[in-house]
């Protein structure tokens, strides 16, 4: 199988999940996307998270992925909650976080860092990365098909 690209990193295997990636691969867009990836890397490092968490903790099951992405949007809308989670370790707040973002506790335990990373993309308004992480039910809201 040919490798695929996810968040700018080549990943082995075949991704069967629906995608929201844009077809605009102009030089300006690619450069802007790379700039946002670098900004995301720095932001994650500030909070002790590794960029590879996006790959390692990305849910493989499409339904779980959608649930986690939707919860990440809810988390990004609650700045105080996101700040609390970022200042400390996600594992300290798992059950509390699960209730606040309406996500089953096992999902938070397994994909907590991914949840936070996706929330940071939304909270920091990284527009070129947003199409990659939009939940299906939010695509029309953000102008993606």
How many C-alpha atoms does 100 have within 13 Å on its Cβ side? Answer: 20
Instruction: State the pLDDT at residue 68.
Output: 94
Strand 9-11, strand 4-6: pairing: antiparallel
- For 24-36, the DSSP string reads ---HHHHHHHHHH
User: Cβ contacts of residue 82 below 8 Å, gap of 6+?
Assistant: 75, 76, 116, 119, 120, 123
Average pLDDT value over all residues in the chain: 80
Higher pLDDT, 65 or 17: 65
In the predicted model, what is the mean pLDDT of residues 56-76? 91
Is the pLDDT at 38 greater than 60, yes or no? yes
Sign, CA dihedral 39-14-55-99, equals positive
- Average pLDDT, stretch 72-92? 82
* Ramachandran angles phi, psi of 11, nearest 5°: -125, 135
pTM over 0.95: no
End-to-end, the C-alpha distance of the chain in Å comes to 27
**97-133 tens-digit pLDDT:** 888 889 999 999 999 889 989 999 998 889 888 888 8
Residues 71-89 have a mean pLDDT of 84
Are the CB atoms for 107 and 64 separated by under 8 Å?
yes
Task: Return the pLDDT at 39.
Answer: 93
């Amino acid at each position: 199988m040919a490798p695929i690209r996810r968040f700018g990193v080549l990943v082995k295997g075949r991704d069967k999940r629906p995608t929201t990636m844009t077809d605009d691969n102009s030089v300006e867009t690619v450069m802007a996307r790379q700039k946002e990836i670098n900004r995301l890397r720095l932001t994650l490092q500030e909070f002790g998270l590794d960029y590879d968490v996006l790959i390692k903790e990305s849910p493989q099951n499409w339904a779980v992925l959608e649930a986690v992405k939707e919860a990440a949007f809810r988390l990004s809308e609650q700045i105080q909650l996101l700040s609390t989670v970022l200042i400390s370790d996600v594992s300290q707040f798992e059950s509390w976080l699960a209730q606040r973002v309406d996500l089953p506790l096992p999902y938070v335990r397994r994909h907590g860092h991914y949840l936070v990373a996706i929330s940071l993309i939304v909270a920091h308004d990284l527009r070129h990365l947003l199409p990659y992480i939009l939940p299906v039910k939010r695509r029309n809201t953000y102008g993606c098909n």
